[in-house]
Structure 1
Amino acid sequence: MFETVLVANRGEIAVRVIRTLRSMGVRSVAVFSDADADARHVREADTAVRIGPAPASESYLSVERLLEAAARTGAQAVHPGYGFLAENADFARACADAGLVFIGPSADAISLMGDKIRAKETVKAAGVPVVPGSSGSGLTDAELADAAREIGMPVLLKPSAGGGGKGMRLVRDEAQLADEIAAARREARASFGDDTLLVERWVDRPRHIEIQVLADGHGNVVHLGERECSLQRRHQKIIEEAPSVLLDAATRAGMGEAAVQAARSCGYRGAGTVEFIVPGGDPSSYYFMEMNTRLQVEHPVTELITGLDLVEWQLRVAAGERLAFGQDDVTLTGHAIEARICAEDPARGFLPSGGTVLALREPQGDGVRTDSGLNEGTEVGSLYDPMLSKVIAYGPDRASALRKLRAALAETVTLGVQTNAGFLRRLLAHPAVVAGELDTGLVERVVDDLVATDVPDEVYEAAAAVRLDALRPAGAGWTDPFSVPSGWRLGGTARPVSFHLRAQDPVEYAPRGSADVTDDGVSVTLDGVRHTFHRAADWLGRDGDAWHVRDHDPVAASLTGAAHAGADSLTAPMPGTVTVVKVAVGDEVTAGQSLLVVEAMKMEHVISAPHAGTVAELDVTPGATVAMDQVLAVITPVEED
C-alpha cells in the first residue's frame, strides 16, 4: 500500500478521499488555490501545497503544478477525485511518466470511454445496446444539424468529451438547432477544452440508471448493483438512490452483465460507472449512454447498501491487489438516497449563488451521512462547481430512507449562501417521488410547485423581532421612555414600531406577535403558531430554506436607483464572468434578442433584450467579472408614433 497519496481535487470529494486515507493509515496531501487557502480539505489533510491562483486553469487544472506538488511531498500516487482532471487521459499519462500511480483506469481506457463516439462504437461491438444517434467524430455544425433531422426531433446534443450534463442541449424545434449547437460547443469548450459534439435520439420520459463496476488488474470485474439518477435539473443529477424501484432481479442482472462487458471492452481497472437510459414503460429496453471513468458524486449510496468503501478499493486495486470477492458475494441490503446541496437560489431560477458561510449545521449519524467541504467562514465564489455537500440517508427500505433524508435536509443549515436544500426536501415529499414514478423530466414539470417564491410573514416577523431586540436598552434602573421601542409618544397615542425590510421586494413590517431572540436563533409566535429560525447576521433559516433579510431605506433607494430603474436596464442575474458580448452601443435590437452571456460555476446565462430598442449603455466587455444585480446594459425602447 502507498505511504503518501496526493489528492488532486478540492471541496467535499477531497475531504471524502482524505477520510479513507486516514482510516487506512495513508498520509494525505491536499492541494489548494489561493481561493481555497483556508478550505476544509486543506485543514484535514496531513499536509497541503499551494498550486496557484484562484482560476482553475492556473491551479487545479495545471498538470505541471500538480506533479510538482507530488514530487515535493514524496507522494507515490495521485487520487484525481471527480471533475477537473479526473477523466483526463493526458494527466493519467503524465502521472505514469513521473513515476506516480494514477488511482483510476489506464490512460487508454480514459481516452476511449471519454470519447462518447468511440465509446458507443466499442461497447456496441461488445454486444451492449446503444442509443440511436450520429456516427463519426468531428462533425461540423451542418453535419450535426443534418444528423438531427435524420434522427427526427426531439434530439439531444452532447459533448463527446466530459460529462455531468455540461453542454447538453435538448432540442425540440428544428429552427433552434443552429443556436443550440453553438451554445453546446461553447459550454463544451469551456468545461472540457473540446467542443466536439454528437447527437442522439431523445427518449421521452426516460429513466437514468447507472451500474457501478469495480475491476482489478488481474481480469476480475464485478458490478455493485444500480443507482437511479432520474431526478435531474438541466441534465444535472440532484437526487440519487440505490437500488432502483424500477428494476426486477432479471433486469438488474442483465444490466449488470452489460456494464461488466462494457468495462471489459476497454480493459477497465478501478471503480467506474456505466450509465444507461431506460424507457420507463419498458425497463428491459435499456441503452448504453456513456461510461464515467472515475468515482461518481453519488457513490455513497452504493457504499451504504453494499457495505464497501469504494475509495478504499480504488486504492487497493491501484496498489495491485486482487478483488477479495466475486459477483456472487455482492449483496444489496436496505435503501440509500442522496441529495446534492448546491450553491444556487431556487427563487431566482436556480441561478448560482455565493457568499460567506456564516452558520453551518450538517446532520450525521443514525442512518444519515453528510459529505461536505464546508466550514463556517468558507467563501463560496463563482469560480468552481456549485456543489457544496451531499446529504445521504440509509434505511431498511425506501420509505424509511426518504423520511430520514427529508428530516436531515430540514436540519441542514448553511446561512450566508443560498442553497437548494429546502427545494430538495419538498421534492422528496412529492407524490410521484414517494411512489417511485420517476423520469428525467419530472423535476422540470413540477418545479414551480416546489419553489418557495413568497416570503412568509413569520420571516419578516422574526427579522423585525431581531431589530426590535437590538433597540431595547440594556441594564437595570430608570429607562428613558423615548429610548424604548414601544411606539410611545408624549401626549398622544402610541404608534406601532415598523421596519423597512427587504428579502425580495421591499416591505414595511410592524411586529404583531411575541418573540424570543438569542445570538443564533429567534422564535416568534404569530397568530397562535410558534416558528423557530436559525439566524446569523441578516440571515434566517429553517427546514433547509434561508432568507437574507436586509434593512431597506426607501428614500436612499429612490435617489440612488433612479438612474437605472425600470425595465430598460439589464442586470447580472448572478455573480460571474461575461463570456460573450454580441452588441455595441448604438446597435438596434429586437425583443428577446440575445445580447450577452454571463457564466458562473460552469453555467451559462443568456441576457436578452427586454424589448425592441437601442443599446444606450454597455458597461461590460468579454472577460469582465460582474456582481449580482450589477447593471450590464441599458436598452432605450423604440419610441411609438
Structure 2
Amino acid sequence: MFDSVLIANRGEIAVRVIRTLRAMGIAAVAVYTEADAGARHVVEADVALQIPKYLDIEAIVAAAVSAGAQAVHPGYGFLAENAEFARRCAEAGLVFIGPPPGAIEAMGDKIRAKATVAAAGVPVVPGGAEPGDDLLAWNDFPALIKPSAGGGGKGMVLVRSAAELPEALESARRTAAAAFGDGTLLIERYVENPRHIEIQVIADTHGTVLHLGERECSLQRRHQKIIEEAPSPFVTPDMRARMGQAAVEAARAVGYVGAGTVEFIVDGTTGDYHFMEMNTRLQVEHPVTELVTGLDLVELQVRVAAGEPLPPAQDRVRLSGHAVEARVYAEDPARGFLPTGGRVMALREPLNVRVDSGLAAGTVVGSDYDPMLSKVVAWGETRDQALRALDRALGATAVLGVTTNIPFLRALARHPAVAEGRLDTGLVERILPELLPETGVPGDVLAAAALAFHAAPVGDDPWEVPDGWRVGEPAWTTWRLESRDGVHAVQVRGLPERGAEVRVADDGTAMRAAVRFAGECLFVTLDGKVTAYTHARDGDTLWLGRDGESWALTRHRIGDPGDRPGAAGSADGVVRSPMPGTVLLVKAQLGEQVSEGQPLVVVEAMKMEHTVVAPIAGVVKELPVRAGQPVEMDAVLAVVEP
C-alpha cells in the first residue's frame, strides 16, 4: 500500500479524497494555485505545494516527486481523463489512480467509444453524424450536438430545427474547445422522453469487473446534473442486471481498471437503453452509490491501483435503502442561473447527513472554476424518507456572502413529479417557473435586518446611535434597507435587546420585537415568534440566512442612488455584465448601428457562456472591453445611443 498520495485537484473532491486517505493511514499531498492558498483542501492536507495552475502536468508531476508521493489521485475534472497525464505519471515512477491511458483514450473519444462498445454487443443510440461528415447537412430533428472529447454536459446543445443548427454548432464548438481543448463535434438523434441512468463499475488488474448498481441522473438543466439518486425509481431488478452486464462488457472492451461510470440514455416509455459514454474517472455523484452499497469508492480506487484484487462475486454487491444528492452551486436562479461569486462570510452546514464540501468561512468564490460549491447527500430507508431528509438538510444550509441555488434545489426536491419518480431530462426546464424563488424580501426578514442594524448600528455619528433616549416620547428610527429589488423602509422604536416595536413601511403593521446575538446566530422575536437566522456583517451590508434562503441587505444612506442599474442592459442603452467573468467575444463594433436584441458581447464564467444583447436600437458609442478581458459583475460592456 502507498505511504503518500498527491491529489491533483481542488475543492470538495480534494477534501473528500483526503478524508479517505487519512482513514487509510496514507499521507495526503495537496496542490494549490496562488488564488487557493488558504483553501480548505490546503489546510486539511498533510503537505501542500504551490503550482502555477491545476492543468500544468509537468508542475504537478514535479510536485509529486518532490513530496515523495508514490501515487497521484486526479479526482474528477481537470486531469482525471487526460491520457497524457497518466503517461507522465508512469514515466516519473508514480502510480496513476485511474484507468490505463489506452482506456482513457478509447472512451474519451465518443465516436471511438461508440464503435468499441457496439462491437462488444452494447446497445448504442442509432444514427449519427461524425467529423468528416457535413454536420450542417443533418436533417433528423430533434438532434443533440455533443463534443467528442467532452463530458459533464458542457457543449451539449439540443437542436429542434435546421434553422438553429449553424449557430448551435458554432457555440458548441467554441465551448468544447475552451473546456476540453478539442472542438470536434458529433450529432446524434435525440431520444424523446429520455432518462439519464448510469452504472458504476469497478475493475481490478486481476480480471474482475463489477457493477455497483445504477444512479438516476435525469434531473438536469442544460445537460448539467442537479440532483442524483441511487437506486433509480425506474429500474427493475431485471433491468439493473441487464444494464449492469452491459456496463461490465463496455469496461472489459477497453481493458478498464479502476472506478468508472457507463452512462445510458433510457427511453422512459419503452425502457430501451442505449450507451452514451463512459466517464473514465470518479463521478461527482459517487456518494449516493457509496451510501447504498456501504463501499468507499476512493478506497477501492486506491486498493486497485496498489494491485489488490476485488472480491470476485457480483452477488455480494447489495443495495440498501435510498440516497439522494443535491449539488449546491454559486449561481442565481432568479437571474437565469448566472454564475455568482463573493467571499463566504458565514457558513452553516447540516448535521446528520453527508456533506462533501470545499468551503470554509473566508473562502473566495471566483469565476475561474466550476460553480459547484458542495454536495448535500441524504440517505433513507425509502426514497420518500431520503427526499425529505435532503429537503431538511438543504434548509439547514447557509452560505452567506455568495448567492446559491439552494432554494431552487428545495423546490425541485419537493415537486410532485420528483416525489412520484416521473423523471426525464427535460423535466426541470418544463417546470422551471414553479421552481424559481420569489425575488422580493419577506417583511419579517426586513424587520429582522432593521432590528440587527438597530442593535449594532454602523458609524460613529451620535445621532445614529439608537439608544432609546429622546426628548419626550421615544421616537421611531427609520432604516432604509436596499436589496437587489429596491429600497425598503423599516421603522424601529425602543431597544431591541430589551423590547422594541418594529413596523415595515410596506404594510405599516407594528410588531413587538427583540433580538439576541449568539455567534453567527441571530435570534429574532416578532410578536412572540422566535426565528433563528445565520448572519454576517460586512460594513453596511448584512447577510441573513434562513431555511436555505439568504438575503443581502445594505443600509441605504441619504444621497445613495435609489436603485441599482440593470445587469444586462437598461433603457438608457448602458449594457452591463450580468456576472463576473471573462469577455469571450465582442460581436459589435464601435459606431455600428444595432437593433434591439442584437448580440453585442459574449461573457464566459465557470465554463458557461452568456450573450449580452443591445437593450435598445441605436449606435454603439462606447465599447470599452476586448476579448480575453476579465470583468466584474455590472461592469459596463457597451453603451448604445438611441
TM-score, length basis structure 1: 0.92
Q: Please, which of 472, 485, 490 is the counterpart of residue 504 of structure 1?
A: 485
Per-residue Cα deviation, 1:562-602 (whole angstroms, up to 9, x for no partner): 9x964411111111110111112100112221111111111
Pairs aligned (count): 615
Per-residue Cα deviation, 1:94-135 (whole angstroms, up to 9, x for no partner): 111221111111101101100001101111111111112324
1:608 shift after superposition: 1.1
Residue type of the alignment partner of 1:613: G
Q: Are the aligned partners of 2:348 and 2:534 in contact in 1 as well (CA < 8 Å)?
A: no
Q: Take 1:464 and 1:482, find their aligned partners in 2: how far apart are those partners?
A: 13
Q: Take 2:636 and 2:267, find their aligned partners in 1: how far apart are those partners?
A: 45
**Aligned alpha-carbon RMSD (Å):** 2.2
Residue type of the alignment partner of 1:61: L
The reply to whether residue 119 of structure 1 matches residue 100 of structure 2 is no
Matches within 5 A, 1:93-132: 93-132=87-126
Q: What residue number does 1:477 align with?
A: none
Q: What residue number does 1:515 align with?
A: 514
Q: Are the aligned partners of 1:521 and 1:535 in contact in 2 as well (CA < 8 Å)?
A: yes
Q: What residue number does 1:419 align with?
A: 404
Residues 36-45 or 524-533, more deviating: 524-533
Matches within 5 A, 1:321-336: 321-336=308-323
Q: What residue number does 1:48 align with?
A: 48
The reply to whether residue 344 of structure 1 matches residue 349 of structure 2 is no
SS class of match (1:268):
coil
Per-residue Cα deviation, 1:499-538 (whole angstroms, up to 9, x for no partner): 2422432223333231314153334455775433211011
The reply to whether residue 468 of structure 1 matches residue 467 of structure 2 is no
Q: Take 1:352 and 1:346, find their aligned partners in 2: how far apart are those partners?
A: 9
Q: Please, which of 429, 442, 445 is the counterpart of residue 430 of structure 2?
A: 445
SS class of match (2:560):
helix
1:43 shift after superposition: 0.9
Q: Are the aligned partners of 2:480 and 2:487 in contact in 1 as well (CA < 8 Å)?
A: no
Q: What residue number does 1:228 align with?
A: 216
Q: Are the aligned partners of 1:7 and 1:28 in contact in 2 as well (CA < 8 Å)?
A: yes
Residue type of the alignment partner of 2:454: L
**Unaligned regions of 5+ residues in structure 2, if any?**
492-501, 504-510
Q: What residue number does 1:569 align with?
A: 574
1:484 shift after superposition: 3.9
1:488 shift after superposition: 5.5
1:416 shift after superposition: 1.0
Residue type of the alignment partner of 1:14: A
Q: Take 2:424 and 2:584, find their aligned partners in 1: how far apart are those partners?
A: 33
Distance 1:316 1:391, change over 3 A: same
Q: What residue number does 1:458 align with?
A: 444
Q: What residue number does 1:133 align with?
A: 127
1:493 shift after superposition: 9.7
Q: What residue number does 2:544 align with?
A: 540
Q: Take 2:44 and 2:457, find their aligned partners in 1: how far apart are those partners?
A: 42
Q: Take 1:357 and 1:136, find their aligned partners in 2: how far apart are those partners?
A: 45
Residues 453-462 or 526-535, more deviating: 526-535
SS class of match (1:203):
coil
Q: What residue number does 2:498 align with?
A: none
1:467 shift after superposition: 1.4
Q: Take 1:481 and 1:126, find their aligned partners in 2: how far apart are those partners?
A: 80
Q: Take 1:9 and 1:330, find their aligned partners in 2: how far apart are those partners?
A: 30
Q: Please, which of 243, 249, 258 is the counterpart of residue 270 of structure 1?
A: 258
SS class of match (2:287):
helix
1:603 shift after superposition: 0.8
Matches within 5 A, 1:52-67: 52=52, 59-67=53-61
Q: What residue number does 2:36 align with?
A: 36
Q: Take 2:103 and 2:111, find their aligned partners in 1: how far apart are those partners?
A: 14
Q: Take 2:474 and 2:344, find their aligned partners in 1: how far apart are those partners?
A: 44
Task: Give identity over the alignment, percent.
Answer: 58
Q: Take 1:389 and 1:362, find their aligned partners in 2: how far apart are those partners?
A: 10
Residue type of the alignment partner of 2:419: V
Q: What residue number does 1:2 align with?
A: 2
Per-residue Cα deviation, 1:32-73 (whole angstroms, up to 9, x for no partner): 000111111111111011011xxxxxx100101011101101
1:261 shift after superposition: 0.8
1:138 shift after superposition: 4.9
Per-residue Cα deviation, 1:414-460 (whole angstroms, up to 9, x for no partner): 11111112211121111111111111111112222222122211221
Q: Are the aligned partners of 1:4 and 1:28 in contact in 2 as well (CA < 8 Å)?
A: yes
Per-residue Cα deviation, 1:178-233 (whole angstroms, up to 9, x for no partner): 11111101110110000000111112221110000011111111100000001111
SS class of match (1:557):
coil
Residue type of the alignment partner of 1:129: P
1:494 shift after superposition: 4.5
Q: Are the aligned partners of 1:472 and 1:484 in contact in 2 as well (CA < 8 Å)?
A: no
Distance 1:489 1:435, change over 3 A: farther
Q: Please, which of 370, 376, 388 is the counterpart of residue 385 of structure 1?
A: 370
Per-residue Cα deviation, 1:59-96 (whole angstroms, up to 9, x for no partner): 10010101110110111111100000100111111111
Q: Take 2:163 and 2:323, find their aligned partners in 1: how far apart are those partners?
A: 43
Residues 528-537 or 594-603, more deviating: 528-537
Q: Take 2:458 and 2:267, find their aligned partners in 1: how far apart are those partners?
A: 63
Residue type of the alignment partner of 1:592: G
1:487 shift after superposition: 9.9
1:380 shift after superposition: 0.8
Q: What residue number does 1:55 align with?
A: none
Q: Are the aligned partners of 1:13 and 1:81 in contact in 2 as well (CA < 8 Å)?
A: yes
SS class of match (1:437):
coil
Distance 1:575 1:263, change over 3 A: same
Distance 1:134 1:497, change over 3 A: same
Distance 1:481 1:124, change over 3 A: closer
Q: Take 1:594 and 1:44, find their aligned partners in 2: how far apart are those partners?
A: 45
SS class of match (1:161):
coil
Residues 356-365 or 176-185, more deviating: 356-365
Q: What residue number does 2:494 align with?
A: none
SS class of match (1:508):
strand
Q: Take 2:234 and 2:262, find their aligned partners in 1: how far apart are those partners?
A: 17
**Unaligned regions of 5+ residues in structure 1, if any?**
53-58, 475-479
SS class of match (1:112):
helix
Distance 1:70 1:590, change over 3 A: same
Residue type of the alignment partner of 1:146: A
Q: Take 1:165 and 1:571, find their aligned partners in 2: how far apart are those partners?
A: 28
Q: Take 2:564 and 2:457, find their aligned partners in 1: how far apart are those partners?
A: 27
Q: Please, which of 349, 370, 379 is the counterpart of residue 362 of structure 1?
A: 349
Q: Please, which of 295, 306, 322 is the counterpart of residue 293 of structure 2?
A: 306
Q: Are the aligned partners of 2:468 and 2:474 in contact in 1 as well (CA < 8 Å)?
A: no
The reply to whether residue 626 of structure 1 matches residue 642 of structure 2 is no
1:473 shift after superposition: 12
Q: Are the aligned partners of 1:209 and 1:230 in contact in 2 as well (CA < 8 Å)?
A: yes
The reply to whether residue 144 of structure 1 matches residue 135 of structure 2 is yes
Per-residue Cα deviation, 1:146-178 (whole angstroms, up to 9, x for no partner): 13x1xx211111100120011111111321211
Distance 1:71 1:557, change over 3 A: same
Q: What residue number does 1:76 align with?
A: 70
SS class of match (1:70):
helix
Q: Take 1:304 and 1:382, find their aligned partners in 2: how far apart are those partners?
A: 32
Residues 564-573 or 230-239, more deviating: 564-573
